[in-house]
Amino acid sequence: MTFTTTQEIPVKPSKQIEEVSKWWLKSVAASRESQSLAEVRDINENWQSLTAEPGSVDYIEVDAGGVQAMWAIPKECFGDRVLLCVHGGGFFSGSMYTHRKLYGHFAKDVGCRALIIHYRRSPEHVHPAQVNDVVTAYRWLLGQGIQAGHIAIVGDSAGGGLAVTSTLLIRDKGLPMPAAVMPFSAWFDMEVTGESVESNKGEDLLLNREWLIEMAQMRLGKEGNPKDRYANPFYDDLKGLPPVYLQVGGDELLLDDSITLAKRAKAAGIDVRLDIFPGMQHTFQMAVGRAPEANDAIARYVNWIKPKLGLK
C-alpha cells in the first residue's frame, strides 16, 4: 500500500481554491436553510458551477439497463474503455448534471468515455437501491461489449462509497471485476464513527456530524442497518477487490473513512494507494479547470488509471 501526503501542494490553499470554497460554502448554507427536499436539490444542482467546462466533450443521455445515465464522450477518445462514474450528494441529491463537467474532465484526460449514472436517490428509494443501480449499469456496460478490464469505477463522496460497495456486490454476484476503483472524499461509514469527525470539526467547512447522521438515516430508511456490508464496507471482507486509489482532503470530517478503508484493503492484500491533500476540503476535485489543487489531483488519477486500462 502507498500512503502519500502531497507535500508539493502547499498547505495554504491557492486563491482559486479559496474562491471556489467560498461559493461552495454559500451553496451549502443556502441548502440548509431550505424548507423542502425539492428546494435543497434545486440549490445543489448549482454545484456544476464549481467545475470549468472541459470542452471538446459531447454529452448524450442514455438508458443504461433501466438506470438513467449520461455519456461523456471526448473527441477522438477510445470507445472501448469506460469510466463508470457515481456522483456524490449524500445519496439524496446531486445528479449526472451536477457532475457532468467533473467527469467530462476525467474522460477527456484519460482519453476514454465516461458513463455518469443518475441512481435512484433517498429518501424515496432507500438502500440497496443505489448500489443496485450501479451494478445494473455495470452489467449494461458488459452487455454492450465492454470488457470488465476496460472499466474503472470512480465516485466522489457518497458516490465514492458506492464505487466500493458496488464493486463488492459485483464480486459477490460472480461478475468479472473492473480494472480499478477510484473513490475520492468517499463516505463509507454509515455509523459516522471516524475520529476525524471530531478532530476536523471546524476545519471542514461543508459537513458536520449531525448532517452526516441525518443523511445516513435517509439513505438506510427506518429498517436499515448501518452495518450492512453493501452500505458500509467496513463490515465486509475486501478480498478480491481490484486496485483502489483513494484521495481525500486533510481537513475533511471523512478523512478517517479513507484511511480506514485503505488499511483494511491493505490487510486484505489489495493494491491500494491513498493520497491525503493537506488543507483541502471535501470534494475539492470539483474545482478542476479552476484551481491548481484540483487539476493536480485529477492528473494523479489519470496517470494511475491509464495503464490499468491499457492506455498510454
| CATH number where 42 lies | 3.40.50.1820
99 classed as catalytic? no
Q: Residue 124's CB: how many other CB atoms inside 10 A?
A: 10
Q: Which of 99, 105, 150, 282 is catalytic?
A: 282
What single-letter DSSP state applies at residue 26? H
Cell triple for residue 25?
Answer: 460554502
The CA angle 260-44-23, to the nearest 5 degrees, is 85
pLDDT for res 212: 97
Q: How far is CA 58 from the centre of its chain?
A: 21
Taking alpha carbons only, the member of 242, 249, 311 closest to residue 277 is 249
What residues are paired with 114 via a beta bridge?
Answer: 72, 83
pLDDT of residue 33: 79
CA neighbours closer than 13 Å in the CB half-sphere of residue 29: 7
User: Which of 87, 93, 252, 293 is flagged as catalytic?
Assistant: 252
Question: Which pLDDT belongs to residue 96?
Answer: 98
Active site residue 195: no
Give me the domain span that covers residue 112: 2-308
Check if 33 is active-site: no
Global pTM?
0.95
pLDDT at 258: 98
Q: Strand pairing of 272-277 and 2-5?
A: parallel
> For the chain, what is the domain count?
1
Given the residues 157, 166, 185, 196, the one annotated as active site: 157
Q: Which three cell numbers stand for residue 43?
A: 440549490
Q: What is the pLDDT along the chain (312 residues), one digit of tens a residue?
A: 555 544 444 467 899 998 888 887 787 777 777 779 998 898 888 889 999 999 999 999 999 999 999 999 999 999 999 999 999 999 999 999 999 999 999 999 999 999 999 999 999 999 999 999 999 999 999 999 999 999 999 999 999 999 999 999 999 999 999 999 999 999 999 999 999 999 999 999 889 999 999 999 999 999 999 999 999 999 999 999 999 999 999 999 999 999 999 999 999 999 999 999 999 999 999 999 999 999 999 999 999 999 999 998
What is d(CA 105, CA 103) in angstroms, rounded to the nearest whole number? 5
Structural contact between residues 97 and 42, judged by C-beta atoms closer than 8 angstroms: no
What does the alpha-carbon distance between residue 100 and residue 90 come to, in Å, rounded to a whole number? 17
pLDDT reported for residue 57? 98
